[in-house]
């Protein structure tokens, strides 16, 4: 076995209602001056009070930066860094979906090293951050509470940049599924497919390790079992808990392996057409999986069995066929639109395919795919996703 580098938060508090212990968690690390990074929905719906009330009760003064946007931008990070510099904070609490957590991570990096956000994108290793991050996810989810990644949009270049390193790995996380009861069905579906994609890509990645495999396999089983129920029944506690655990394990899995071609192709769609991250993954997942299977058929077959799309008795070939069909059926159940139904114009899509393929390759993620695509193959996949060729070919 080759050596592998394993990284995870120092501490994770898991379970329904766990967010009530935020003050005790800060106390464990001697922290007492948090800047809470969140978004307008968390503040507007009052969900953030689940974090603020226990801090107030413990006499911990706090400031909230709630200007985070979905798919956070470099300009929002710069605004957040100004708040850090104007205050006297000893930690950042990212409270919300992947966007607020990723914003907090990027703020810590930029506040420490200065410069521009793009100075830190891969292959740079963003290892230094003076402020520790406590991450509290409210979607299930990106797994960002447990990953050494943040994804920030470069607004000048319309590019979703991957930033990786120990500086963006949270010190601690609170993983409380009760915070996800209010997630709307569309976002439940999109974030759930994101976590499924993390687990599947971690498992088939060229960088998979025995450590990431164990987490990916467990995550695929949890997400395969609970995603549909979480989508259909928002207050189904068992389904929400299963999804939260699955998303967290999927995050740990890909953070210690990698994502691959789906994510590589998904980020440019998000940057150019403002499709939510999980939704662009879902649009790509069946076609990219079908393209990739020949690179690791045994792994894809095992993934199909773990997700519950094939049975233990299915031979690899049959299990792989069921995987692609099952992912398409999942998209139908979760009402995933085609790019056209989402509102993207065909001319605009075609005009960007070349650039998107270049940006996908430059991110490095396609190189981890079991079947490494050429630029032309990526363009063909974008075309296929537009026409629904994977669907029609069945």
Ligand X SMILES: NC(=O)c1ccc[n+]([C@@H]2O[C@H](COP(=O)([O-])OP(=O)(O)OC[C@H]3O[C@@H](n4cnc5c(N)ncnc54)[C@H](O)[C@@H]3O)[C@@H](O)[C@H]2O)c1
For binding to Fe ion (CB under 5 A), which residues are involved? 194
The site partner of 203 among Fe ion, ligand X, none (C-beta below 5 to 8 Å per kind) is: none
Site for ligand X in 19-48 (CB under 6 A): 39, 41, 47
What are the backbone dihedrals phi and psi of residue 38, each rounded to the nearest 5 degrees, phi first? -150, -165
CB-nearer residue toward ligand X: 135 or 390: 135
- Kindly give the residue spans of alpha helices, DSSP state H, lying in 151-209: 185-204
Q: Which helix (H) or strand (E) element contains residue 375?
A: helix 375-387
Quick one: residue 45, left, alpha or beta (phi over 0 = left, psi -120 to 50 = alpha)? alpha
Residue of 65, 141, 140 lying closest to 106 (CA atoms): 65
Answer with the entry of Fe ion, ligand X, none that 132 interacts with (C-beta below 5 to 8 A by kind): none
Residue 179's binding partner among ligand X, Fe ion, none (Cβ under 5 to 8 angstroms by kind) is ligand X
Q: What, of ligand X, Fe ion, none, does residue 180 touch, CB below 5 to 8 Å by kind?
A: ligand X
Least Cα distance to 94 among 136, 64, 47 occurs for 136
For residue 4, give both structure tokens: 């592998």
Q: Site for ligand X (CB under 6 A): which residue of 121, 132, 144, 365?
A: 144
Q: What tokens appear for 303 in the block?
A: 């993934």
In the complex, minimum distance from the CB of residue 356 to ligand X, in angstroms, rounded to a whole number? 15
Q: Please, which of residues 63-92 interact with ligand X by CB under 6 A?
A: 70-71
For 57-70, b/e burial (b = at least 16 CB within 10 A) is: eeebebebbbbbeb
Residue 369 contacts ligand X per CB under 6 A: no
Q: Which is nearer to ligand X, 97 or 242 (CB)?
A: 97
> Binder to ligand X among 26, 179, 309, 323 (CB under 6 A)?
179
Q: How far is the CB of 44 from ligand X (least distance, A)?
A: 9
Q: Are strands 11-14 and 159-164 parallel, antiparallel or unpaired?
A: unpaired
Contact 269, 245 (CB under 8 A): no
73, 150, 292, 321: residue in contact with ligand X (rule CB under 6 A): 150
385 binds ligand X (CB under 6 A): no
Among 76, 120, 147, 378, binds ligand X (CB under 6 A): 147
Are the beta carbons of 83 and 103 closer than 8 angstroms?
no
Among the candidate windows 27-35, 170-178, 182-190, 351-359, which touches ligand X by CB under 6 A? 182-190
Rule CB under 6 A: is residue 268 a binding residue for ligand X?
Answer: no
CB of 47 to ligand X, least distance (A): 6
Toward ligand X, which CB reaches closer, 254 or 349? 254
Structure tokens at 133: 């991050």
What are the tokens at 300? 């894809």
Burial of 278 (0-12, 13-18, 19+ CB in 10 A): buried
Residue 338, phi then psi, degrees to nearest 5? -75, 165
What would the x/- binding string for ligand X be over residues 325 to 364, using CB under 6 A?
----------------------------------------
Query: Per-residue x/- mask for ligand X, residues 103 to 142, rule CB under 6 A?
Result: -----------------------------------xx-xx
Residue 277 binding ligand X, by CB under 6 A: yes
Q: How far apart are CA 132 and CA 121, in angstroms?
A: 20
Q: Pick between residue 20 and residue 380 the one whose CB is nearest to ligand X.
A: 20
Determine if residue 151 is left, alpha or beta; phi over 0 gives left, psi from -120 to 50 gives alpha, anything else beta.
beta
Chain center to CA of 273: 18
Q: Which residues bind ligand X (CB under 6 A)?
A: 39, 41, 47, 70-71, 96-99, 102, 138-139, 141-144, 147, 149-151, 179-180, 182-183, 187, 191, 194, 277-278
């Amino acid at each position: 076995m080759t050596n592998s580098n394993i990284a995870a938060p120092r501490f994770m508090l898991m379970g329904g209602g766990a967010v009530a212990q935020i003050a005790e968690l800060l106390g464990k690390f001697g922290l007492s001056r948090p800047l809470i990074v969140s978004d307008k929905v968390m503040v507007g719906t009052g969900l953030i009070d689940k974090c603020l009330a226990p801090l107030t009760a413990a006499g911990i003064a706090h400031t909230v930066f709630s200007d985070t946007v979905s798919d956070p931008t470099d300009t929002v990070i710069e605004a957040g860094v100004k708040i850090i510099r104007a205050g006297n904070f000893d930690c950042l609490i990212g409270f919300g979906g992947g966007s607020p957590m990723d914003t907090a991570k990027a703020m810590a990096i930029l506040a420490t090293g200065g410069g521009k956000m793009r100075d830190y994108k891969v292959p740079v290793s963003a290892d230094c951050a003076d402020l520790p991050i406590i991450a509290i996810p409210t979607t299930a989810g990106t797994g960002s509470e447990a990953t050494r990644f943040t994804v920030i949009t470069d607004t000048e270049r319309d590019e979703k940049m991957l930033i990786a390193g120990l500086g963006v790995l949270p010190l601690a996380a609170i993983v409380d599924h009760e915070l996800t009861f209010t997630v709307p069905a569309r976002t439940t579906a999109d974030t759930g497919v994101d976590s499924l994609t993390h687990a599947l890509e971690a498992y088939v990645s060229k960088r998979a390790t025995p450590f990431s495999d164990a987490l990916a396999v467990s995550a695929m089983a949890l997400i395969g079992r609970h995603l549909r129920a979480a989508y259909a029944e928002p207050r189904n506690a068992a389904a929400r808990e299963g999804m939260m655990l699955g998303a967290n394990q999927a995050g740990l899995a890909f953070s210690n392996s990698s994502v691959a071609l789906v994510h590589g192709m998904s980020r440019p769609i998000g940057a150019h057409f403002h499709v939510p991250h999980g939704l662009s993954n879902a649009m790509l997942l069946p076609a990219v999986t079908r393209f990739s299977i020949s690179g690791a058929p045994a792994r894809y077959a095992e993934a199909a069995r773990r997700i519950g799309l094939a049975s233990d008795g299915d031979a690899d070939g049959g299990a792989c066929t069921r995987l692609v069909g099952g992912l398409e059926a999942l998209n139908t159940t979760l009402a995933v639109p085609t790019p056209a139904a989402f509102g993207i114009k065909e001319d605009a899509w075609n005009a960007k395919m070349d650039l998107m393929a270049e940006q996908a390759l430059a991110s490095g993620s396609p190189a981890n795919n079991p079947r490494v695509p050429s630029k032309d193959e990526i363009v063909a996949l974008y075309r296929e996703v537009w026409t629904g060729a994977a669907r029609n070919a069945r």
